[in-house]
Amino acid sequence: MHQSSVRAALTTAVAALALAGCSLSGGDPSGPTTSAADGSDGTTGGTVVLATHESFALPKKLIRRFEEESGYTLEVRAAGDAGTLATKLSLTADNPIADAAFGIDNTFASRPLGEGAFAPVTPSVTPPEEYALAEGGDRLVPIDSASVCVNVDTAWFDAEGLEPPQMLDDLTDPAYADLLVTPGASTSSPGMAFFLATVAEHGDDWPAYWTDLLANGAKVVDGWEDAYYGDFTAGSETGTRPIVVSYDSSPAFTVKDGRTTTAALLDTCFRQVEYAGVLAGADNPEGAQALIDWMLSDEVQSALPESMYVFPVMPGATVPDDWAEFAPQPTDPYEVSPEEIAANREQWLTEWTDVVSR
Amino acid sequence: MSLDTTALVPRAVTRPPNRRVVGLLLLAAGPVLVLGLLFVLPVTGMVAEGFVVDGRFAPGAVLEVLARPRVHRVAWFTVWTSGVATALAVVLGLPAAYALHRLALPGRAAVRAALLVPFVLPTVVVGVAFRQLLGEGGPLGSLGLDGTPFAIVCGLVFFNVAVVVRTVGVAWEALDPRPGQAAAALGASPSQVLRTVTLPALRPAIVGAASIVFLFCATAFGIVLTLGGVRHATVETEIYLLTTTVFDLQAAAALSVLQIVVVVGLLALAARLRAVPDPTAHRTATPARPVRRGDTPVVVATLLVLAAMLVPILTLVVGSLRVDGGWGLANYRALSGTGDDQALLVPVTSALATSLRTAVDATWMALLVGVVVAAIVTRRSHSVAERRVRSTLDGFFMLPLGVSAVTLGFGFLITLDQPPVDLRDSPFLVPMAQALVALPLVVRTLTPVLGGIDDRQRQAAASLGASPWRTLLTVDLPVAWKPTLAAGGFAFAASLGEFGATSFLARDDSPTLPVVIFRLIGHPGAMNFGMALAASVVLAATTAVVMLAVERLRVPGVGAF
Amino acid sequence: MLNLTDVTVSYGETTAVDDVSLDLATGQVLAVLGPSGCGKSTLLRAVAGLEPVASGSIAWDGTDLAGTPTHKRGFALMFQDGQLFAHLTVARNVAYALRLRRTPSARTAARVGELLELVGLAGYDDRLPGTLSGGERQRVALARALAVEPRLILLDEPLSALDTNLRERLAGDLRTILRAAGTTALLVTHDHEEAFALADRLAVMRDGRVVQSGAIDEVWREPVDEATALFLGYARVVRGDAASRVLAAAGMPPAYAVALRRSALVLDEAGTLAARVESARVTPEQVRLVVEVDGIGVLDAVAPLGSRVSPGDEATLRVDVTRLAALPLTPIRSAP
């Protein structure tokens, strides 16, 4: 009796919840859709649509301020990963899905650029030259950077009394046998970045390095979350591997009692820079330009670390204390040009897959 | 003019066959148009990207791709893992279907509802849960299964066994026990009764369930990547890789075409196997009988299956309660916030609301089309041509299950981008995509019920002056409305858990719960991981509650979900 | 020989079969007759082993069958609606039990042909059950049940689903077939015609109990009470003084009540009962009358064809002693 009345109550609750908020379009978004209607303050107004990947996030407060100050309504369409975004923009180059795009990184930049997806843009502030693309720098504006580095569980190494590795070549040292886990280059963006670091280090001899790496017991898994939460000793209670491919910012998330228990090996990093651009044929290019300017503003740049786990590119931005203290950025990361990546990606991935599935 | 003797045949009753076929096609036009617009057009558009190079039709490159040894390897791997997983799901699902639908086991309604939970869990979370079990440091790590095809098969079975239990269980519940008793009275032992009477009678349900499971397995994505690691590629993961990472659209098109050809072949085979000599099998509502000593093997087998299903779920629950090496509810309390350092734009609670809203929309869409389709394919055919049209339609609406979500998703973007059908910005895009996935489930659930209605009842109604529409209302609806609600429940669950299309299409200001979970688990921070698990548990619990509600609406013996 | 001793079958709280004892000698056909819901089908299913027996015993040739599962009892059950296997052809249905016993296929084929011949369905081998008429399905079911020469065949209302014509014809066939095969059969039915057509012995069941059993003519001539009489096809029951008056007219000793068939009173100038004709209806064999008998009440009567009677006529009636049964004193429920 009692049980069935509980069940009935739950049923009703679910039904009410579903029906009340529901149906015919998925409800009204809580965003301030009305702000654009009033164009009397002289700003252009209208909606600006941003296409981005699923990791995009910025505080609602900042977005509201952008809308109030610029008079635009920002509509964010965030879906899929970076590769999906690049493919979407490339396929829709002649009929863009948005006004601006954010989230194309240096490993994927050449594809949409080659398809003519982006229009030239000159931001009101100029980001540091070190992040600019050699080709397409007139169309893609750097917004943030995140370096993929080998991370180590320093607590584990301390407990074992073992000196952690330093360089990529250390990873093939038998002393570190069966300790590394990395996401796959074919299935994961940080996995690809790590692979590119090895390519930058070893050039055409990378297959030999990877053969050694695997012979030394390196484990290749699907995604970053599998590696970090499934196998990394500092990320999972059942993890067995104290070396993982992750980000330069990751040590800021393992802080305990004022110390971090992990470290990024700064000589193993490949830097991913994320770019934004105005889409060719956009309905609202002015709005797109305003959006990019806003993303380079200090307040957005300073919000990037906590919203998207990336470092800002503008020198005036501030980073959180934990980041400043525990997550130093590499000074001289590995580099592979977007053109070289685009030209070789398929070949590399095919070979790489052969090596790891051997 | 000579006397036309055919005029003596009462025309009103038997319309000429070709006119019936035309009428059938007119009736089918609506759903076909919907599927054509939302499925055929996008998929064709995306595949065409591969076939058309620089504005010229150039199939050579695509055909060349099909000759690659890697493509053969990938195709074979997909077929055999899906085949093995389907067979295992059927073998493990049958005893459970019997025990949970035929025996008066205590708490079986709750168990049946709980069985659907895996179906909606985000694969990425389940993948991590599995890996915590099977991984090097996990309790089952010594088995060395991590990253093997076996792990993939286990994962696929975990997600799909419920489909078998549900579909076959309901058919079993409706099965008249008397032919089996007649066989026993003729000297057939219980195993002979099973083999010669029960299984043949269940064949349509088993084949239907198996074909759905196979399609789900063959297009599985996250689970293959997570459990198989990078070594094992299936057609689906390969299409994703080729499209988004490598941007080799020719190769992707080749694999999509291969996938469609295989799926169509499979559906044709399934339709053949499903066809039984006498489709209007007797349906009865047989009350569940008390458990006897002879049922021990079945009950034990069911408990084992349940235990195996429970372990990964328990891993999730346990993980969601871990806080800083201790135990607590902090992960659940955090769900109303936005995660460590604002990993999320919206609290998990509002994502759940979005999920529920989207699911409602997806459900009514799937039902609207599904009911019409089921009604069309189950009417008795009067000619070979008519039967062929009906069975083709039947298979046609199963297609969305078997074709890559990646191909479909990108196809949406490049084909539905011009007025009058510019759907790219429509808030309905996500529910529509989910409805496409749920549609085959609705159709497969309703066809056995509508097919079981004796056509003579409709004829009786018609002879009393009821129009076809009125006949539908007075004959079909009373029998079918509860199963329709039940089918809606399953569509609802499928929509709640759908991730592939949703993650591709979801709008950022209103992400669904699986999308949010994916985001949480994609960022470092113990709290985010714990919240992802807690949110998964919430999603699972919501599903279980919805399913229990549906269970209460279920009529015994009708409506598989 | 089948022996049922104090058999009780329960569904939860309700007792469907209550303390039933019956014997059936080899080669005989026993009909259990009773209204629907009286427990007769449950009794049949219990004999088949499909329902657990709460108490009492079912034994064959002295061996208790309690531990023997259905498929090892060597019986064959024929359901009310045949229960043919819809996915098998007629021939495969009939051959079902033979194939279970791995009978060589040549012998199976021969036996199937023989059986289909026996039930009048030669040449139906490849038809599917769905294409057969009700009567044809019952015949196939019968052939299937007879195929392995079961030591006992259990028939659940084998003819009741059929129309009158077919029922009469099939009843005759069935009887001949059962006799020819020397089969022992237990039949349950609610239709006394069906019971009379097929059985040697009769047991009348009501509310889970056997109220009367014996040779079929015995039971028919001496129904144990009013309800039984009415169920056996007697048209009316007359009680008290009226009963004694009817019995006196027949030259019989008085009794508490008497059950009368429709033809128990015959229009006869030499008759001793005076009556007034209320209605008269001509049938192919006789004229059926409803009469008001002085001091007794409204009864049925018959007159030979050609009799000129019309409503309102005064008439005298004779009592045909073979068409009535005196009933012993029992608590009586009012007649329907």
DSSP collapsed to 3 states, A47-115:
EEEEEECCCCCCCHHHHHHHHHHHCCEEEEEECCCHHHHHHHHHHCCCCCCCCEEEEEECCCCHHHHHC
Instruction: State how far the Cα of B301 lies from the Cα of B94, in Å rounded to an integer.
Output: 10
C119 lies in the same domain as C156: yes
Among partner residues A31, A57, A309, which is closest to B344 by beta-carbon distance?
A57
Q: Determine the pLDDT at residue C66.
A: 87
To test the contact with chain C by mutation, choose from B186, B193, B276 the residue with the greatest count of C C-beta atoms within 10 A, namely B186
Instruction: State how far the Cα of C87 lies from the Cα of C93, in Å rounded to an integer.
Output: 9
* C-beta separation of B85 from B91 below 8 A: no
Which one, of C141, C135, C128, lies nearest residue C94 by Cα? C141
C214 lies in the same domain as C318: no
Q: What are the chain B neighbours of C132 within 8 Å (beta carbons)?
A: none
**A to C contact (≥3 Cβ pairs closer than 8 Å):** no
All chains having 3 or more CB pairs closer than 8 angstroms to chain B: A, C
C122 lies in the same domain as C214: yes
Q: Determine the pLDDT at residue A44.
A: 54
Asked if residue B4 has pLDDT above 50, the reply is: no
C196 lies in the same domain as C305: no
| DSSP label of B291 | P
- Higher pLDDT pick, B430 / C331: B430
- B184 and C71 in contact by Cβ < 8 A? yes
To test the contact with chain A by mutation, choose from B68, B77, B230 the residue with the greatest count of A C-beta atoms within 10 A, namely B230
Asked which of C185, C212, C228 is the last residue of a domain, the reply is: C228
| C308 lies in some domain | yes
| B418 lies in some domain | yes
| Region of B126 on the Ramachandran plot (φ > 0 left; ψ -120 to 50 alpha; else beta) | alpha
- Quick one: three-class SS letters along B244-269? HHHCCHHHHHHHHHHHHHHHHHHHHH
| Percent of chain A's residues with pLDDT above 70 | 87
Q: What are the chain A neighbours of B125 within 8 Å (beta carbons)?
A: none
Task: Give this prediction's pTM.
Answer: 0.78
User: Using one digit for the tens of pLDDT, what is the confidence trace for B148-182?
Assistant: 888 889 889 988 888 888 878 877 877 778 888 88
Which one, of B59, B295, B262, B283, lies nearest residue B171 by Cα? B283
* C-beta separation of B167 from B209 below 8 A: yes
- B189 and C148 in contact by Cβ < 8 A? no
Instruction: State how far the Cα of C257 lies from the Cα of C333, in Å rounded to an integer.
Output: 12
To test the contact with chain B by mutation, choose from A19, A47, A54, A248 the residue with the greatest count of B C-beta atoms within 10 A, namely A54
A189 in contact with chain B, both atoms CB, cutoff 8 A: no
Among partner residues C75, C87, C128, which is closest to B185 by beta-carbon distance?
C75
Give chain C's end-to-end CA distance (angstroms, integer).
38
To test the contact with chain B by mutation, choose from A55, A87, A89, A92 the residue with the greatest count of B C-beta atoms within 10 A, namely A87
Q: On the CB side of A84, how many CA atoms lie within 13 Å of its CA? A: 27
For chain B, the average pLDDT equals 79
Q: Give C5: exposed, middle or buried? Use CB within 10 Å, 0-12, 13-18, 19+.
A: middle
Most confident among A289-298, B200-209, B407-416 (mean pLDDT) = A289-298
ipTM passes above 0.85:
no
| DSSP label of B554 | P
Pair of tokens at residue A335: 């580099």
| B12 lies in some domain | no
Q: Which residues make Cβ contacts (< 8 Å) with residue B195, sequence separation at least 6? A: none
Instruction: State how far the Cα of B65 lies from the Cα of B75, in Å rounded to an integer.
Output: 12
Q: Determine the pLDDT at residue B482.
A: 65
Which residues make beta-bridge pairs with B201?
Answer: none
| B381 lies in some domain | yes
Q: Determine the pLDDT at residue B278.
A: 52
Pair of tokens at residue B5: 């003797």
C154 lies in the same domain as C26: yes
Instruction: State how far the Cα of B138 lies from the Cα of B136, in Å rounded to an integer.
Output: 6
| DSSP H or E run through B44 | helix B41-51
Instruction: State how far the Cα of B453 lies from the Cα of C129, in Å rounded to an integer.
Output: 18
Nearest CA in chain B to C79: B182
Q: What are the chain A neighbours of B364 within 8 Å (beta carbons)?
A: 23
User: Using one digit for the tens of pLDDT, what is the confidence trace for B185-215?
Assistant: 888 888 899 888 888 888 888 888 898 899 8
CA torsion, points A283, A287, A293, A294, in degrees to nearest 10? -130
The enclosing domain of C267 has a CATH number of 2.40.50.140
Q: Which of A124-128, B335-339, B433-437 has the lowest mean pLDDT?
A: B335-339
Instruction: State how far the Cα of B411 lies from the Cα of B1, in Å rounded to an integer.
Output: 59
C191 lies in the same domain as C114: yes
Q: Give C103: exposed, middle or buried? Use CB within 10 Å, 0-12, 13-18, 19+.
A: middle
Instruction: State how far the Cα of A332 lies from the Cα of B378, in Å rounded to an integer.
Output: 68
Instruction: State how far the Cα of A50 lies from the Cα of A292, in Å rounded to an integer.
Output: 10
| DSSP label of B243 | I
C163 lies in the same domain as C241: no
B139 in contact with chain C, both atoms CB, cutoff 8 A: no
| B261 lies in some domain | yes
Q: Determine the pLDDT at residue A1.
A: 38
Domains, chain A, with CATH or none: 43-145+273-321 (3.40.190.10), 147-271+324-356 (3.40.190.10)
Most confident among A77-81, B239-243, C315-319 (mean pLDDT) = C315-319
C267 lies in the same domain as C206: no
Q: Which of A145-154, A209-218, B402-411, C157-166 has the lowest mean pLDDT?
A: C157-166
Q: Determine the pLDDT at residue A245.
A: 95
The amino acid at B49 = E
| C333 lies in some domain | no
Q: What range does the domain containing B162 cover?
A: 59-553
Instruction: State how far the Cα of B416 lies from the Cα of C179, in Å rounded to an integer.
Output: 77
Pair of tokens at residue B456: 């003579």
Instruction: State how far the Cα of A272 lies from the Cα of A105, in Å rounded to an integer.
Output: 6
Q: What is the domain count for chain B?
A: 1
Q: Is C285 helix (H, G, I), strand (E, B) or coil?
A: coil
Instruction: State how far the Cα of B56 lies from the Cα of B207, in Å rounded to an integer.
Output: 42
Q: Tens of pLDDT along chain C (336 residues)? A: 899 999 999 887 888 899 999 999 998 999 999 988 888 989 998 998 888 899 999 999 989 998 888 888 888 888 887 788 888 899 999 999 888 888 898 999 999 998 898 888 889 999 988 888 888 888 898 888 888 788 899 998 888 767 777 777 778 888 888 887 788 999 999 888 888 888 999 999 999 999 999 998 888 888 888 888 888 888 888 888 888 888 888 888 888 889 998 888 998 888 888 899 999 998 888 899 999 988 888 999 999 888 888 888 888 999 988 888 888 765 544 433
Q: Give B179: exposed, middle or buried? Use CB within 10 Å, 0-12, 13-18, 19+.
A: buried
Q: Closest approach of chain B CAs to the CA of A240, in angstroms?
A: 6
Pair of tokens at residue C172: 């005759």
The amino acid at B205 = A
Which one, of A116, A85, A79, A113, lies nearest residue A101 by Cα? A85
* C-beta separation of C60 from C73 below 8 A: yes
Which residues make beta-bridge pairs with C205?
Answer: C210
* Model confidence band, residue B345 (pLDDT cutoffs 50, 70, 90): low
For chain A, the average pLDDT equals 84
C124 lies in the same domain as C190: yes
- Nearest-10 crossing angle of helices B526-553, B348-378: 40
User: Using one digit for the tens of pLDDT, what is the confidence trace for A90-130?
Assistant: 988 888 889 999 999 888 888 899 889 999 999 999 999 88
| B483 lies in some domain | yes
C303 lies in the same domain as C242: yes
Cβ neighbour number for residue C306 with a 10 Å cutoff: 8
Most confident among B220-234, B442-456, C7-21 (mean pLDDT) = C7-21
C48 in contact with chain B, both atoms CB, cutoff 8 A: yes
| B44 lies in some domain | no
- φ/ψ (deg, to 5) at C12: 55, -115
User: Using one digit for the tens of pLDDT, what is the confidence trace for B91-136?
Assistant: 999 999 999 888 888 888 888 877 877 876 767 677 777 777 777 6
| Region of C329 on the Ramachandran plot (φ > 0 left; ψ -120 to 50 alpha; else beta) | beta
Asked which of C194, C228, C262 is the last residue of a domain, the reply is: C228
Q: What are the chain B neighbours of C71 within 8 Å (beta carbons)?
A: 184-190, 192-193
C178 lies in the same domain as C264: no
* C-beta separation of B491 from B366 below 8 A: yes
Q: What range does the domain containing C293 cover?
A: 236-327
Asked if residue A312 has pLDDT above 80, the reply is: yes
Whether the upstream peptide bond of residue B440 has omega within 30° of 0, thus cis, is no
| Residues C88-91: contacts with CB under 8 Å, at least 24 apart | C88/C129, C89/C125, C89/C126, C89/C127, C89/C128, C90/C116, C90/C121, C90/C124, C90/C125, C90/C126, C90/C127, C90/C128, C90/C129, C90/C132, C90/C140, C91/C116, C91/C124, C91/C125, C91/C126
CA distances from residue A152 to A166, B413, C173 in whole angstroms, order as listed: 10, 42, 91
C210 lies in the same domain as C247: no
The enclosing domain of C167 has a CATH number of 3.40.50.300
| B48 lies in some domain | no
Q: Which residues make Cβ contacts (< 8 Å) with residue C82, sequence separation at least 6? A: C129, C137, C138, C140, C141
| B15 lies in some domain | no
Q: In sequence order, which ranges of chain A are alpha helices (DSSP H)?
A: 2-20, 60-70, 82-91, 110-114, 154-160, 189-202, 206-215, 224-225, 285-295, 298-308, 321-326, 338-356
Q: What is the domain count for chain C?
A: 2
Q: Closest approach of chain C CAs to the CA of B190, in angstroms?
A: 8
Q: Which residues make Cβ contacts (< 8 Å) with residue B94, sequence separation at least 6? A: B164, B168, B206
* C-beta separation of B536 from B121 below 8 A: yes
| DSSP H or E run through C176 | helix C164-181
3-state helix, strand, coil in chain C (%, to 5): 30, 30, 40
Asked which of C202, C228, C254 is the last residue of a domain, the reply is: C228
